[in-house]
Amino acid sequence: MTSSAAATSLSSHGSARPIVEMTAHELLALQERGELTAVAIAEAFLTAAQQLEVHLRSFLWLDAEEVLRQAQAVDLRRRSGQPLGPLAGIPVAIKDVLCTKGIRTTCASRILANFVPPYDAHVIERLKAADAILFGKTNMDEFAMGSSTENSAFQQTRNPWDLQRIPGGSSGGSAAAVAGCQAPVALGTDTGGSIRQPAALCGIVGLKPTYGRVSRYGLIAYASSLDQIGPMAHDVTDCALLLQVIAGHDPRDSTSAPLPVPDYRGRLNEPVRPLRIGVPREFFDKGLDAEVESLVQQALRQYEKLGAKLIEVSLPHAPYALAAYYIVAPAEASSNLARYDGMHYGHRTRHKADLIGTYAKSRGEGFGKEVQRRIMIGTYVLSSGYKDAYYRKALKVRRLIKQDFDQAFEQCDVIMGPTSPTPAFRIGEKINDPLAMYLSDVYTVSCNLAGLPGLSIPCGFTREGLPVGLQLLGPPFSEETLLRIARMYEAVTDWHTRRPKLPVPPSPVTS
């Protein structure tokens, strides 16, 4: 592979750093000043991705020729003086649950192993219009069902900070790709914490937008009333940049909110003052790792130093959120995944059978154990005689959870607490204990049930060098305020600037 630039460049602070360790906004500035080309950026990240993939296993698909073709097109337009989009020349890794026209989209499932969508998801259309470089499809838990990316049918993604540990899930491939400097930014999806939890465990920033802020058109559904697409990045500024591009109304999605999109970056560095932070007592209970609690408390004290007021609030129905989520989400999954029957598209068994036998064998061969488990749970709670006892009761609890948040936000501007109860755990540690795995989402699922925006930012490292995330939750459509509040903390700390030391660093790209 040849290059038109070296693999290092000057950052905004004037110091030489590897291209792959830079943020998207730094790379944009260097291109605008003529100090870097889109091709040089693409080659640097392709080299890093290829060299580190043997360790991280972040990608299910990455076409170097296609990446370079996109980058060359951006450089040609820049040289000819044509206007360029807000993400021109920036590689964006894509979670493999988003439809990409002509490119295989598998949801990390055997049942979709050879599915090639005939259209792009709305967010992919937005990225293309912004002149971003589509940089491969990332690994995930099958159909976004999991908290560790161990449920992928194809490979195990590893945490860049400790290769023996999970990266979180279900957007583990996207989180590992960004944290491991294989891509500067990525898209993930969040149904019960699948952006925020892996962001926390990999030491990056992850934003789950308000339900309806980003169109779900072309997102292969897990639980339609909970799923949202959002950005994952090294810092808050990059999150704002990516959200700016993908947010907005889309008439093809009936749940898309017809609301104007704020300028997320415009006021990003304006602190929110006065700032009232709600600290839920339910988020600091048994099950919370002592080091995680200590680092989160230190972050809260830092906010106090910045002038914020801490207010204890209560979310009395939070202890029931996990149970409600694992009824509502599987129920919707049972309905959504019924379309995979081996008839129209996706895997079809080679065993000869009648209609019902073909359904059963196709699904049995195509779906993994966790997907099958959730389909069975969902089918059970929707079945005659149990729907009232389980599903409808869970919907009532969901409404009470939303009311708890509404009441809490009357007292505060933002709610803060841990993103995950523990740092990243070891691969295989919880895979055979579904309940222990589900508890990884204990602080994140309520946000989805209530349809709120949620943001995770890095707030420190454990003694073993594992990242910890601070979660910020806001009222509906308060992403602009959440990003500003997160930036207040980021401006006085350096957690977001740290990068893992991986076994095989990216080789220099010669001129």
Average pLDDT rounded to a whole number, residues 475-487: 98
Cβ neighbourhood burial of 86 (10 Å; 0-12, 13-18, 19+): middle
Is residue 92's pLDDT more than 50? yes
In tens, the pLDDT along 112-152 reads 999 999 999 999 999 999 999 999 999 999 999 999 999 99
Whether 320 shows a pLDDT value over 70: the answer reads yes
The predicted structure's pLDDT at residue 352:
87
CB burial class (10 A; 0-12, 13-18, 19+) of residue 252? exposed
| 170 counts as catalytic | yes
- Contact criterion met (CB below 8 Å) for 429 and 146: no
The single residue of 9, 194, 256, 420 carrying the catalytic annotation is 194
Q: What is the DSSP letter of 133?
A: E
For residues 367-396, average pLDDT: 96
Q: What is the pLDDT of residues 155-192, one digit of tens each?
A: 999 999 999 999 999 999 999 999 999 999 999 999 99
Q: In what order do the strands lie in the sheet with 133-138?
A: 59-61, 133-138, 91-95, 185-190, 228-233, 205-208, 454-461, 467-473, 414-418, 276-280, 309-313
256 three-class SS: coil
Q: Is the per-residue pLDDT at 32 higher than 60?
A: yes
For this structure, is 420 an active site residue? Answer: no
13 — pLDDT class (breaks 50, 70, 90):
very low
Cβ neighbours of 61 (radius 10 Å): 16
Average pLDDT over every residue of 435-450: 97
Checking if the pLDDT of 2 tops 70, the result is no
* CATH, domain range 8-317+403-497: 3.90.1300.10
DSSP labels for 411-448? Answer: T-SEEEEESSSSSPPBTTSSTT-HHHHHGGGTTTHHHH
Give residue 344's pLDDT.
85
Backbone angles phi, psi at 178, to 5 degrees: -75, -50
Task: Based on the residue annotation, tell me whether 194 is a catalytic residue of this protein.
Answer: yes
User: Which pLDDT band holds residue 510 (cuts at 50, 70, 90)?
Assistant: very low
Is the predicted pLDDT of residue 1 greater than 90, yes or no?
Answer: no
pLDDT at residue 71 greater than cutoff 50: yes
Share of the chain above pLDDT 90, in %: 93
pLDDT of 506 reads 45
| pTM for this prediction | 0.95
Of 170, 215, 362, 456, the active-site residue reads: 170
Give the type of residue at 216. R
| Positive or negative: CA dihedral 88, 243, 499, 436 | negative
Mean predicted confidence (pLDDT) in 39-64: 97
Q: Look at residue 504 in the predicted model and tell me its pLDDT.
A: 58
Out of 95, 137, 208, 361, the active site residue is: 95
**Residues 355-365: pLDDT tens digits?**
999 999 999 99
Mean pLDDT of 380-407: 96
pLDDT band at 15 (very low <50, low <70, confident <90, very high): low
Enumerate the domain spans of the chain.
8-317+403-497
